[in-house]
Amino acid sequence: MNYNPVIDLGRIIYKGAEATLYKGKWFDKEILVKHRIPKKYRIEELDKKLRRTRTIIEGKMLISIKKCNVPVPQVFEVDLNNNWIIMKYIKGQKLKDLIGKIDKSKRKWYFEQIGKYIAFMHKNDFIHGDLTTSNIIITKNKKIFFVDFGLSTKSTKTEDKSVDLHLIKRVLLSTHGQYFEECFESLINGYKLEYGSQSDEIIDRIETIEARGRYIEKNKRKN
C-alpha cells in the first residue's frame, strides 16, 4: 500500500462493516484514517462501486454538514485511489460506552441535544443513515460529535427522516433497554423543539415503519 509517507498510521481502532479505522499522526495532529478496504465476500464489481461511492458521499457530507452547525470531524484528505478519508481524531467516548456511566439528568440533557442536532440535519435534508450510539462521540468538554456518514443521503422525504429516527430508537431499545424511555423521550423533545410543528408527521411515521417489515406482512406474501 502506498500510504502517504508523512502519515503515521498508528494502530487499528475499529474493524467495521465498511472500513478499517486507524488512529494515527499526520505531522503533529492526531488523525483518524477511515480506510474502505476491499470486502472479499462480495464480487469485485459491487465491492469497488460501494467503496468508491461511499467514500465520496462521506467526504462530501462531512463537509456540508459541518456547514449547518452539526459537529463532525474535520476532513483533511479524501483519497479516491485508495478509498480512504483522513479526518480529525475526536478524543472522547462513544455514547454507547458513556450512557451507563452518567446520571439520568445528564443522559436526558445529552439526548435532547442529540435530538436537536438530528433536527438540524433533517431540516437541511441530510439523512445520516446509520444513527447509533457508536456513531456519536462525546468529548471531555461535553461536545457531541457525529461520525460515519457513508450511508447518508440528501432527501426531503418524511419517510427517510422517520427511518433515521427509527434506527436510533431501535439501537436504544436493543442495546440500552434500561434507559430507553428517558433517552428516546428526550431525543424526541429536542427534535421537536428544533424542528417545530413540521416534525409531527415525521415522528408519527416511525410506528408505521416499524409495523411494516414485521410478521403481519406474511399473509400478504405472494407465494
Partner 1 sequence: MKLKRKICLGIECTAHTFGVSILDFDGNVLSIVNDTYIPETGGLHPREVREHHLECFDKTIIMAITQANLSIKDINLIAFSQGPGLGPVLRVGALIVRFLSQKLKIPLVGVNHCIGHIEIGRLKCGVKDPLTLYVSGGNTIISAFESERYQIFGETLDIAVGNFIDSFARDAGLQHPGGPKIEKLAQKSKKYIPLPYVVKGMDLSFTGLYTAAKNLFKSKDYNRKYNLSDIAYSLQETAFAMLTEVTERALAHTNKTEVLLTGGVAANKRLQEMIAYISNEHNAKYKVVPLKYAGDNGAMIGWTGILKYKEVGADDIEDTMINPKWRMDNVEIPWRS
Which residues contact partner 1 (rule: CB under 8 A)? 14-18, 39-43, 45-46, 49-50, 129-132, 134, 151, 163, 166-167, 170-171, 173-175, 177-178, 209, 212-219, 221-223
Residue from 7, 21, 144, 202 touching ligand ATP (CB under 6 A): that is: 21
28 Cα distance to chain centroid? 27
Dig out the grid coordinates for 77 from the structure: 484528505
Residue 130 is a catalytic residue:
yes
User: For ligand ATP, what does the binding mask look like between residues 64 and 103, x meaning CB under 6 A?
Assistant: ---------x-------------xxxx---x---------
Torsions phi, psi for 158 (to 5 deg): -55, -45
Per the CB < 8 A criterion, the answer to whether 91 and 139 are in contact is: yes
Query: How many C-beta atoms surround the C-beta of residue 150 within 10 A?
Result: 24
- 152: contact with ligand ATP by CB under 6 A: no
**Interaction with Mg ion in 145-204: which residues (CB under 5 A)?**
148, 150
- Nearest CB to ligand ATP, comparing residues 113 and 132: 132
Active site residues: 130
- State the residues that interact with ligand ATP by CB under 6 A: 14, 16-19, 21, 32, 34, 73, 87-90, 94, 130, 134-135, 137, 147-148, 150
